[in-house]
Amino acid sequence: MTEARPLRMIKTSWKDAPTKSVDIAGTSFVYRQLGGGSEVPLVMFNHWGATLDNFDPRIVDGLAATRTVIAYNYRGVGASGGKAPLTVGEMADDGIAFIRALGLGTVDVLGFSLGGFVAQDLTLKAPHLVRKLILTGTGPAGGVGISKVGAVSRIPILKGLLTFRDPKYYLFFTSTANGRSAARAFLGRLKERKADRDKPIAMGAFLRQLKAIKAWGLQAPQNLGAIHQPVLVANGDQDKMVPTVNSTDLARRIPKADLVIYDDAGHGGIFQYHEAFVARALAFLAA
């Protein structure tokens, strides 16, 4: 096991956290880190098309209240160098290399959507690196509807272009009053950072990630019973991107899994219920 380096307390908020980089076999990976203390660090993996600026500030700041939080861009995404991988497995390999490059020993891992696919594969490949796992808005390899994420997203993305709205307004939230209010609040939070913002994802990387998602959806199921770490699974009750039934499936197949389903919430249920989610996640990590 890699000997962990001491983590320095970084007293700042997500909107002000400095962007750093680490070289891995000649490729620069960018990341941001904040928080601190003696707790196991938490490494976060984000969704399809996301850069560092797409992590929810309320969730990152909330989790960083008691531990070090580290979030990074996949290869070829935002300001990270290289070419975006075409498989979840390659992204997981990069994630393992990133954790080791920072000199971390054991970590906790949080994955949202595509990040949840990566987190599962990373845990199966390097179980000695992972203490606890949080899987949100995600599903298993070969899960229901995952190979159709591109088709499901096409109309909401087009609607976003036509209405000059971020497509996440339609993709991540329900169309109810509660859902729309949560969508506006979430998208507003993503604009809080004014300086040192990340580069937008390139269209080529966006499409390569979509191919990786489709391949994950068509992949043979993995042996999730081999994940022996405690796992928290969370989602909204109306996730149309990665159907909510996949969260139930994860919780059923992973031996030490707890399941949280938020009412009147879609793919971005943890963003809509960010206060409740942060409280539940911190309690889970501290137990």
Band (pLDDT 50/70/90 cuts) for residue 12 is confident
Q: What b/e string do you get for 202-239 counting C-beta neighbours within 10 Å, with b at 16 or more?
A: eeebeebbbebbbbbbebeebebeebebbbbbbbbebb
Amino acid at 39: E
pLDDT at 39: 80
Judged by average pLDDT, the poorest of 32-46, 177-191, 194-208 is: 32-46
pLDDT at 273: 98
What mean pLDDT do residues 34-44 have? 88
Band (pLDDT 50/70/90 cuts) for residue 36 is confident
Residue pair 231/204 in contact (Cβ under 8 Å)? The answer is no
Amino acid at 226: A
pLDDT at 89: 98
Tokens of 138: 């995600």
Give tens-digit pLDDT for 86-117.
Answer: 999 999 999 999 999 999 989 999 999 999 99
Band (pLDDT 50/70/90 cuts) for residue 37 is confident
Instruction: Kindly report the average pLDDT of the chain as a whole number.
Output: 95
Can you tell me the distance from the alpha carbon of 249 to that of 259, in angstroms, rounded to the nearest whole number? Answer: 10
Length of the chain counted residue by residue: 287
* Whether pLDDT at 7 is above 90: no
How big is the CA angle at 280 (ends 253 and 185), to the nearest 5 degrees?
110
* Maximum distance among all Cα pairs of the chain, rounded to whole angstroms: 51
Band (pLDDT 50/70/90 cuts) for residue 4 is very low
Can you tell me the distance from the alpha carbon of 60 to that of 80, in angstroms, rounded to the nearest whole number? Answer: 20
* Whether pLDDT at 127 is above 70: yes
Give tens-digit pLDDT for 189-224.
Answer: 999 999 999 999 999 999 999 999 999 999 999 999
Measured CA to CA in angstroms, residue 206 lies from 40, 41, 86, 142, 286 at distances of 32, 28, 10, 21, 35
